[in-house]
Amino acid sequence: MLFRSRNRAGAYAASLLSGASLFATFLFISYYLQAVKGFDPLEAGLLGLPFSVGVVVSTWIAQRALPRLGPRTVTTIGFALAAIGTGGLTRIAVSSVYLTDLLPWLLVMSLGMGLVFVPLTIVAVDGLHPGDLGVGSALVNMCQQIGGSLGVALLNTVATAATAASRRATSINSAACSRVIRRECRVRAQAMRKPAPVAISRATKIVEPPVG
């Protein structure tokens, strides 16, 4: 009964995807703020609060936009904003600044997520028997949790593999540079040793007294 409706099944699938994106993003943002930028856990948590503010604001907007635009349009706009924000977060680097390089994309993603959560919940329970409303709502949360677990596991695997490959490439480049430096040092040492006999012989000729 719960999955007979195409719209309801789509809402559950979309909840799975939104959970995967949300959980994985927060995990790696936490890694970045603490391991790369040097913030402690409390500071990293406070820097994530604007995301919650964006979700609250966009949830309020979604409640008023749903009667005019419908769940499909609002959900599409929300996923588009979330995708833009997630794509922007992939551009951060070690030298990135929180206020200019991280916060704007977090806010864009939060606005998209808020526009997604409200219509998905409404569509997931729409048309259900009153006795099934609790199950339908719980399925939305369950799909988000499962999606979050899958997203974290998948992206963690990708990040670990990419980090290992980067370290291997760095070690290979370092070894190659070390070999080049050692070879260059040997060449320069040989070049410095070659003129030595000539210089000594010339100095000897200068020191020797003239004959006769």
- What is the DSSP code (8-state) at residue 211? P
What is the per-residue pLDDT across 146-190, written as a single tens digit (0 to 9) for each?
888 888 888 888 877 877 776 676 665 555 555 656 666 566 556
The pLDDT value given to residue 206: 46
CB atoms within 10 A of CB 141: 13
The CA distance from 79 to 99, in Å, is 23
**Closest listed residue to residue 1, CA positions, set 116, 122, 133:** 133
Do residues 143 and 120 lie in contact, with contact meaning Cβ atoms separated by under 8 Å? no
The pLDDT value given to residue 131: 76
Do residues 98 and 37 lie in contact, with contact meaning Cβ atoms separated by under 8 Å? yes
> Which stretches of the chain drop beneath a pLDDT of 70?
1-3, 166-167, 169-212
The pLDDT value given to residue 122: 85
The secondary element (H helix, E strand) that includes residue 64 is helix 49-69
The pLDDT value given to residue 104: 93
